[in-house]
Amino acid sequence: MGPLMSLPISLPQHGSRLLLRDLHRQLRAAITNGRLRPGARLPSTRALAANCGVSRNTAVAAYELLLSEGYVAARSGSGTRVADSLPLPPRTKAAASPSGNDRRLNRVWRGRTLAPRANQPAALPYCFQIGIPDPRSFPADVWRRLSGRVLRSIRLQSPLAVDAQGQAPLRCEIARYVSYTRAVSCEADDVVVTAGA
């Protein structure tokens, strides 16, 4: 029997609209109170539904809510487990801040401040994640100078001088790229640049 099956879960009557909310609240409380430890494997949604006497859709929805809040982690083939790094519990008292009475914000977000996670790992001096360049090695001055040059030349052009298919150099490069990567035989005149998909 898994750790979740030994937890006392009391739900309202069937037909109540509070089944999902109460199931989610009790599972979240078990995780935040430490009754379900980080890394503990949770039962399948079928087993949870059978144990609690609810539909499988209710069990799936409860797990999805916990997943969206960061309390559980799900991997295909290995089931659902309690997350190793838990989010901070929601604050109940509004912090005294100048934006605490901002009427433009939803009342749920009024007075909340972003606090660092208590169990978040420290920032590392190097990032080895693929596709993220080192911002210190980016030539920002060269980029700014070249961007300014291009923007000034565009500003001086008449809006009527722009081709309806898009800028010719851009269409030429797109055609060259598509020809190389996708083996599509096309010319710049076959390409149309749009503002959307």
pLDDT at 177: 92
Nearest to 23, CA basis, from 59, 75, 73: 59
Q: Give the pLDDT score at 142.
A: 92
Q: Say if residue 1's pLDDT is above 50.
A: no
pLDDT, tens digit (0-9, with 9 covering 90-100), for 6-18: 677 777 777 667 7
| Alpha helix ranges (H) inside the chain | 19-32, 45-52, 56-69, 140-156, 168-182
Q: Report, as an integer, the average pLDDT of 167-177.
A: 92
How far are the Cα atoms of 123, 132, 138, 139, 152 from residue 135, in angstroms, in the given order?
Answer: 15, 9, 5, 9, 26
Q: What is the pLDDT of residue 5?
A: 60
Residues 138-170 pLDDT 10s: 888 999 999 998 888 777 767 666 788 888 899
Instruction: Tell me the Cα Rg of the chain.
Output: 27
For the chain, the domains span 19-82, 156-197
The more confident residue out of 93 and 23 is 23
- Give the pLDDT confidence score for residue 86 in this predicted structure: 76
Q: What is the mean pLDDT of residues 121-138?
A: 75
Helix or strand or coil: residue 46?
A: helix
Spatial distance between the Cα atoms of 72 and 86, rounded to a whole number of angstroms = 8
pLDDT of residue 191: 93
Q: Is 127 exposed, middle or buried (0-12, 13-18, 19+ CB in 10 A)?
A: exposed
Phi and psi, residue 72, nearest 5°? -130, 160
Q: Is residue 95 predicted with pLDDT exceeding 50?
A: no
The overall average pLDDT reported for the chain is 79
38: left (phi over 0), alpha (psi -120 to 50) or beta: beta
Prediction pTM value? 0.45
pLDDT, tens digit, for every residue of 24-71? 888 888 888 888 888 888 888 898 888 888 888 988 999 988 888 888
| Cα gap 93→110, rounded to integer Å | 10
Q: Which CATH number fits domain 19-82: 3.30.700.30, 3.40.50.12780, 1.10.10.10, 3.30.365.10?
A: 1.10.10.10
The answer to whether the beta carbons of residues 70 and 58 sit under 8 Å apart is no
Count, residues in the chain: 197
Give the CA dihedral 48, 50, 55, 57, nearest 10 degrees.
30
